[in-house]
Copies of this chain bind each other. A is one copy, B any other.
Amino acid sequence: MSQEKLVISIDAMGGDNSPKVVIEGLSLVHKKNPDIHFLLYGDETKILKEMSKFPALKDACEIFHTEEFVTNDDKPSHVIRNRATSMYQAIDAVKQGKAQAVVSAGNTGALMAISKMVLKTIQKIHRPAIVSIMPHEQGRYVMLDLGANTECDGINLAEFCIMGNIYAKCALNLKEPRVALMNIGAEEMKGKDEIHAAAHILKNSHLNLNFIGYIEPHEIPHNKADVIVADGFSGNIALKSVEGTCYLIMKLIKNSIKTSLLAKIGIPFFYGVFKKLKKTMDPRLYNGAMLVGLNGLSVKSHGGTDAFGFSVAVENAAKLVANDFIGSIRRELENIDLDELSQEAYYEVY
């Protein structure tokens, strides 16, 4: 896999300021990784205009003109069958084997829907999930599902654990990630039935997985687990609560500085502290959520990110390709039948 040429297809028209941010982002990736090849889908004239600012990038790119593109207001059900859009074409390139991953900063719902339809779910996986990397006090962890599945059963959650485990190995270079199910208590009986069911399946499955039990959200920053698994509703609630709290604290600090002459004088002393804080908490560093569970890598960049943020998403995709993320999931599942495992776990309880 690593000897093959790394090719990533790009929806050049996705995101708030495309294709400008996209091309600028790719130029950052190209500087660090000159061997990656890009297939760009979108308005050729606009792409070439932006690319003229980064002549070194040109040789690493192949441009495929599309007349149409998906907007943020487009409904997934509406765009899913329109093969003419830059997003569809970029995803299809992965299916055709022309690229090993696709990155788009466009409409999330559309990207998920088209990816699912075109790339198809991996055999034995019931439902794909959205995964992302997040910061804790000593490093990073992987969290899923962040919103693809509002309701999940025990098998779904167990599958997310398997995929999250491999994602953490490939994206965070961990040998034996600690996998935990998010819950509202540590005791076995706390929380929802589907979480208990998933725990039961994982404990009795002899999977190649370091399952450590339940984790409560306030424990996550303490570096207690590397993979946190939840249903898409709870995961999304947790993710957005973290986002809101970061905003709140930084806003309160900014407001106090504004009204304090003393603090204003002190800013140069604290410059390093806030710079370091930003270096850990900067959302651009965690850009690139992924729909895992498909026969192909489909990465979603934040629509409002800048060139650096977009480059992080592309590099994240490249890393997962280099570490054969999809092959690893397939191999892991080769000898496992989760439906059967679930039945076994079920009979054991009764």
The interface of chain A, by Cβ under 8 A from chain B, is 135-137, 147, 150-151, 182, 184, 191-192, 216-222, 230, 232-234, 236-238, 240-249, 251-253, 255-257, 260, 262-263, 265-266, 268-270, 272-273, 276-277, 280-281
Question: A233 to chain B: which residues have CB within 8 Å?
Answer: 184, 191-192, 234
Instruction: Name, among A234, A241, A249, the residue most crowded by chain B CB atoms within 10 Å (CB to CB).
Output: A241
Once A252-B276, A270-B263 are accepted as A-B contacts, the answer to whether A217 and B246 lie under 8 Å apart by CB is no
Q: Is the CB of A184 within 8 A of B236?
A: yes
Question: A280 to chain B: which residues have CB within 8 Å?
Answer: 252
Question: A237 to chain B: which residues have CB within 8 Å?
Answer: 182, 184, 217, 230, 234, 237-238, 241
Q: Is the CB of A273 within 8 A of B260?
A: yes
Please give me the 3 A-B residue pairs with the lowest Cβ-Cβ distance, nearest first: A266-B269, A241-B241, A245-B245
Instruction: Name, among A147, A240, A273, the residue most crowded by chain B CB atoms within 10 Å (CB to CB).
Output: A273
Once A234-B233, A260-B273, A277-B252 are accepted as A-B contacts, the answer to whether A243 and B218 lie under 8 Å apart by CB is yes
Q: Is the CB of B246 within 8 A of A272?
A: no
Q: Classify the secondary structure of A's interface with B.
A: helix
Q: Is the CB of B262 within 8 A of A272?
A: yes
Once A136-B248, A137-B251, A251-B137 are accepted as A-B contacts, the answer to whether A241 and B266 lie under 8 Å apart by CB is no
Q: Is the CB of A270 within 8 A of B277?
A: no
Question: A245 to chain B: which residues have CB within 8 Å?
Answer: 221, 241-242, 245-246, 249
Query: How far does the alpha carbon of A222 sit from the alpha carbon of B248 in the complex, in Å?
Result: 8
Query: How far does the alpha carbon of A192 sit from the alpha carbon of B152 in the complex, in Å?
Result: 12
**A126: min CB distance to chain B, Å:** 19
Q: Smallest CB-CB separation from A251: which chain B residue?
A: B137
Query: How far does the alpha carbon of A192 sit from the alpha carbon of B266 in the complex, in Å?
Result: 48
Once A269-B265, A277-B256 are accepted as A-B contacts, the answer to whether A218 and B241 lie under 8 Å apart by CB is yes
A-B contact list, 8 entries, CB within 8 Å: A147-B184, A192-B233, A217-B244, A220-B241, A241-B242, A245-B249, A249-B281, A253-B277
Question: A191 to chain B: which residues have CB within 8 Å?
Answer: 150, 233
Q: Smallest CB-CB separation from A247: which chain B residue?
A: B221
Query: How far does the alpha carbon of A89 sit from the alpha carbon of B219 in the complex, in Å?
Result: 35
Question: A276 to chain B: which residues have CB within 8 Å?
Answer: 252, 256
Q: Smallest CB-CB separation from A232: which chain B residue?
A: B184
Question: A222 to chain B: which residues have CB within 8 Å?
Answer: 247
Query: How far does the alpha carbon of A189 sit from the alpha carbon of B268 in the complex, in Å?
Result: 48
**A257: min CB distance to chain B, Å:** 6
Query: How far does the alpha carbon of A26 sit from the alpha carbon of B240 in the complex, in Å?
Result: 38
Q: Is the CB of A256 within 8 A of B273?
A: yes
Q: Smallest CB-CB separation from A146: which chain B residue?
A: B184
Question: A244 to chain B: which residues have CB within 8 Å?
Answer: 217-221, 242
Query: How far does the alpha carbon of A252 sit from the alpha carbon of B273 in the complex, in Å?
Result: 9
Q: Smallest CB-CB separation from A238: which chain B residue?
A: B241
Question: A263 to chain B: which residues have CB within 8 Å?
Answer: 269-270, 272-273
Q: Is the CB of B184 within 8 A of A252?
A: no
Question: A269 to chain B: which residues have CB within 8 Å?
Answer: 262-263, 265-266, 269-270
Contact of A137 among B217, B243, B248, B281 (CB under 8 A): B248
Query: How far does the alpha carbon of A70 sit from the alpha carbon of B277 in the complex, in Å?
Result: 43
